[in-house]
Structure formats: C-alpha cells, structure tokens
C-alpha cells in the first residue's frame, strides 16, 4: 500500500485518529507564531481533512488547501460545508498547483515526514510565497520508532533541526527558526505508546 492509498483508506476516520495523535494546541500555537492577518491568503499544504484550514478560515483568511488524497479533501468539504473562502486542490507537495508568489502564508502540518523529497517540497512552498511571506512547518523531531514506516507509511522518522534550517535557507528563506513547539505526537503501536516531540520551523521570503 502506498502512502496515498493509506490516506484514502483512513480519510473517513482521520479526524478521530488525529485527535489521538496530537491536540488542537498544535494548530493554535502554529497560527499564533505565524502572526496571521485576517485579510491574507494562506496555503495549507498536505491539508488532509482541514485541521489547519479550519483554524485559518475561522480567523478570516482565504485558504488554498492542497492534498494528494482526494478522499481527504472530500472529507474537508463535508466538514466545512457552507464555509466560504476555501479552494480545494488535489496535487503533489513537490509540484504544487499554485502560482508563483501568490500566498502570504504556507502551512505544512505533519506533512513532510510522508514525503520522499521534503527539501523539494520546501522549495515549492517558498516558490508560492509572496515577498515577505512566511512558511510555517510543524512536524516531528527525529526519532527511532521504525514501526511508523509500516503502520502510518512515514517516509522519514522525523527531522534534525539542522537539516530543516539548511533546507529553508537553501530555499531562499531568511530569518529561519526551528524550535520545539512544546507539544508531542503520540502513536499507538502494538507494543505501546510512542511519544515524539513536535517542532515548528519558520522562514520569511
């Protein structure tokens, strides 16, 4: 089973699963650190069923939600039925269907560890940012829980902060920061609970 097939299969149950992995505090802290403006446009990359998108539209932003899983986006459409200001696009994170310099913020929450080439995805997210725009990534610290490759189709076992800093800088971003978000992600394998720290990485175009 590929990662895409996995997310298509679990889409209808994803919101319940997500609540077992991490809390709404991840979203609230990320949006707060981003300092979003209510009149801005944001891209939610690897949007899933709209965890980040929901928080952004509630603050008045227009959101372009991109995910490789049409089933995930369909779940978001149902959840946000009647909510205006959201564009739903099926696409790959490494080839975003978004024009150059067209968004003020690009968010990627728990997305990059499912991507074979995360540094290419970061360059794509930098490409779509307007000058002065901000990239906000929330993802897993490097860990050794190899079962996640099988159970959740993770391509990477988290990331080292120095690698994230290098990738953001190589994408042309400035004022790069990578720090702990003060939150954990908990997955439940057969052998017990695995808790992994969550970082937030930011950079300005």
Q: Please report the pLDDT score of residue 127 as a whole number.
A: 98
- pLDDT per position as a tens digit, 168-177: 999 999 999 9
What Cα–Cα distance (Å) separates residue 151 from each residue in 44, 57, 72? Answer: 24, 32, 18
Number of domains in the chain: 1
Domain encompassing residue 64: 3-204
Mean pLDDT score across all residues of the chain: 88
Per-residue confidence at 150, pLDDT binned at 50, 70, 90? confident
CATH assignment of the domain containing 105: 3.40.50.150
Q: Please report the pLDDT score of residue 8 as a whole number.
A: 58
Q: Is the pLDDT of residue 162 over 80?
A: yes
Q: Please report the pLDDT score of residue 189 as a whole number.
A: 47
122 and 135 in contact (C-beta within 8 Å)? Answer: yes
- pLDDT per position as a tens digit, 28-76: 999 999 999 999 999 999 999 999 999 999 999 999 999 998 988 999 9
Average pLDDT rounded to a whole number, residues 135-158? 85
Beta bridge partners of 107: 44, 136
Q: What percent of the chain has pLDDT over 70?
A: 86
3-class DSSP assignment, residue 156: coil
Question: CB within 8 A of 188, min separation 6: which ones?
Answer: 20, 194
Q: Is the pLDDT of residue 17 over 90?
A: no
pTM of the predicted structure, to 2 decimals:
0.89
Higher-pLDDT residue of 194 and 68 is 68
Q: Is the pLDDT of residue 192 over 90?
A: no
């Amino acid at each position: 089973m590929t990662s895409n097939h996995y997310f298509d299969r679990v889409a209808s149950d994803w919101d319940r699963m997500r609540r077992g992995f991490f809390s709404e505090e991840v979203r609230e802290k990320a949006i707060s650190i981003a300092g979003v403006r209510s009149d801005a446009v944001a891209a939610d990359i690897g949007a899933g069923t709209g965890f980040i998108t929901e928080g952004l539209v509630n603050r008045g932003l227009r959101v372009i939600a991109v995910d490789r899983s049409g089933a995930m986006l369909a779940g978001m459409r149902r959840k946000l039925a009647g909510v205006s200001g959201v564009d739903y696009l099926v696409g790959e994170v490494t080839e975003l269907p978004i024009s150059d310099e067209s968004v003020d913020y690009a968010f990627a929450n728990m997305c990059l560890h499912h991507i074979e080439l995360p540094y290419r995805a970061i360059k794509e997210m930098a490409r779509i940012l307007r000058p002065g725009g901000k990239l906000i990534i929330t993802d897993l610290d490097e860990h050794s829980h190899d079962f996640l490759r099988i159970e959740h189709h993770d391509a990477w076992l988290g990331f080292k902060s120095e690698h994230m800093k290098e990738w953001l800088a190589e994408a042309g971003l400035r004022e790069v920061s990578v720090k702990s978000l003060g939150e954990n992600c908990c997955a439940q394998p057969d052998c017990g609970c695995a808790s992994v720290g969550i970082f937030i990485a930011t950079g300005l175009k």
